């Protein structure tokens, strides 16, 4: 557990695959929490970022899930520079803290 920094390419690939399959986002969230969230070396590699695009998307998702406009509380986002990945830990009044990671697609 919490070993993402030991083999980051593999762990990011596994997480991306779980998110793309879309069958069970809960498993993807658990994988993220088990392998990334408590990994101090991984967290140290991440830089604070406003990630306004990600926060807007998460606000939209929260509003759809809650059935009403949701204001994010204490929005925090971090960027993993060399991987084009973001991690966000927003909160909203009707839900507990959630973590997401989004990987930008690269195009040739």
| pLDDT, tens digit (0-9, with 9 covering 90-100), for 41-88 | 888 888 888 888 778 877 777 777 778 777 777 777 888 877 777 777
Helices then strands, counting H and E runs in the chain, come out as 4, 4
- The answer on 102 and 56 residing in a single domain is yes
- The answer on 40 and 54 residing in a single domain is no
pLDDT at site 7: 92
| pLDDT, tens digit (0-9, with 9 covering 90-100), for 10-40 | 988 888 888 777 666 778 878 888 888 788 8
pLDDT at site 57: 79
Cα 80 from Cα 39, distance rounded (Å): 14
pLDDT at site 100: 53
SS3 assignment, position 36: helix
Enclosing domain of residue 56? 46-108
- The answer on 53 and 72 residing in a single domain is yes
The model's pTM:
0.65
């Amino acid at each position: 557990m919490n070993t993402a920094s030991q083999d980051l390419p593999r762990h990011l690939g596994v997480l991306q695959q779980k998110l793309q399959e879309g069958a069970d986002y809960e498993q993807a969230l658990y994988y993220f929490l088990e392998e990334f969230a408590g990994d101090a070396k991984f967290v140290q590699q991440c830089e604070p970022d406003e990630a306004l695009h990600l926060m807007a998307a998460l606000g939209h998702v929260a509003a759809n899930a809650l059935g009403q406009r949701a204001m994010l509380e204490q929005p925090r986002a971090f960027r993993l520079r060399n991987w084009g990945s973001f991690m966000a830990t927003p909160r909203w009044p009707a839900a507990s803290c959630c973590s997401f990671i989004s990987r930008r697609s690269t195009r040739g």
